[in-house]
Amino acid sequence: MKFNINENLGEFYYDEPMKNHTSFNVGGPAELLIKPKDEESLIEILKVIKENNYKYYILGNCTNIIVKDNGFDGIIIKLKGRLNEIEKVSDNEIYAGAGISMKRLSEFAMENSLKGLEFAHGIPGSLGGGVVMNAGAYDGELKNVIKSVRLLDEDLNVIELPLHEMKFSYRHSVVQERDLIVLGASFLLEHGNKDEIRAKYEEFDERRRDKQPLNLPSAGSTFKRPEGYFAGKLIDDSGLRGFTHRGAGVSEKHCGFVVNKNNATAMDVIETIETVQKIVRDRFGVNLEREVKIIGD
């Protein structure tokens, strides 16, 4: 299909294998992948997409997504490396664009002796995706430090929502309820000691290296935490530690991670997830909800 979009608005890649972009290293081709030049270009691209009813999906660092093996019959907009401005706007306030990595966001705060974002240093994603799902780790969540979020609304108007209108909860925000697109966010942080801040996120990073299978392709924690339980323990208690299904399986290091063990396909990963969900449901009566999103045809 020929898309009537001005190619001067960014980098255009036709029939682009999504396995080259997702952290799972799986996925068929996107009919068109676009990396917009900047925010203005993104808005222009989205105007054409909406005028023509083109199918599209916006991704950041592609760390919480599975694209099916048949690919995506439409347009993928990838913001990694775009909308990645970051600045200190006042004594204890930072603004960052949606495309910036959570790691870089945390490091910028540390460089300015501001604490509160240490938990974000090891989260393998972009700020935009983090805001959508209220990303968190080690008892920290974005909702605890965000002041406001800059977004495109359903009519592509730039709006800013204060914290109380973002409806943040566990792995949820208002962005999931409406057709909104994250452009960036402002953070209110506390003053701290630079060395202590660095030591804190290095401690978190070390804990991740000790407990998580960072040597294998994955999307991080595959399942949301079920109320009253821990997903990893339920999976382990179901006898699924190290379970393998063709090229995919459950990590032996952390049962909450489904991983690409050996050139898995997207179907291998999806079937592994579904098998884990069924066995845990049958044994414990608990429904494990996916944290990772699945798109494609």
Catalogue all structural domains in the chain, each as residue range(s) with its CATH number: 7-78 (3.30.43.10), 86-211 (3.30.465.10), 231-295 (3.90.78.10)
Predicted TM-score (pTM) of this structure: 0.92
Cβ neighbour number for residue 160 with a 10 Å cutoff: 14
- Residue 26, class by beta-carbon neighbours within 10 Å (0-12 exposed, 13-18 middle, 19+ buried)? buried
d(CA 56, CA 70): 15
d(CA 87, CA 68): 37
Residue with tokens 């208690």: 237
Q: pLDDT tens, 69-105?
A: 999 999 999 998 899 999 999 999 999 999 999 999 9
Q: pLDDT tens, 128-145?
A: 999 999 998 888 999 999
Q: Supply the pLDDT for residue 1.
A: 67
In 112-184, which residue ranges form alpha helices assigned H by DSSP? Answer: 127-132
- Residue 41, class by beta-carbon neighbours within 10 Å (0-12 exposed, 13-18 middle, 19+ buried)? middle
Q: Exposure pattern of 253-280 as b/e (b: 16+ CB <10 Å)? A: bbbbbbbbbeebbbbbbbebbebbbebb
d(CA 15, CA 145): 39
Residue 106, amino acid = S
DSSP state letters, 191-242? E--HHHHHHHHHHHHHHHHHHS-TTS-B-S--B---TTS-HHHHHHHTT-TT
Q: Supply the pLDDT for residue 106.
A: 95
Q: Show pLDDT as tens, one digit a residue, over the chain (297 residues).
A: 678 999 999 999 999 999 999 999 999 999 999 999 999 999 999 999 999 999 999 999 999 999 999 999 999 999 988 999 999 999 999 999 999 999 999 999 999 999 999 999 888 889 999 999 999 888 899 999 999 999 999 999 999 999 999 999 998 999 999 989 999 999 999 999 999 999 998 898 888 889 899 899 999 999 999 999 999 999 999 999 999 999 999 999 999 999 999 999 999 999 999 999 999 999 999 999 999 999 998
The pair of three-digit structure tokens given for residue 213, joined into one six-digit string: 């299978």
List, by residue number, the catalytic residues: 171, 221, 291
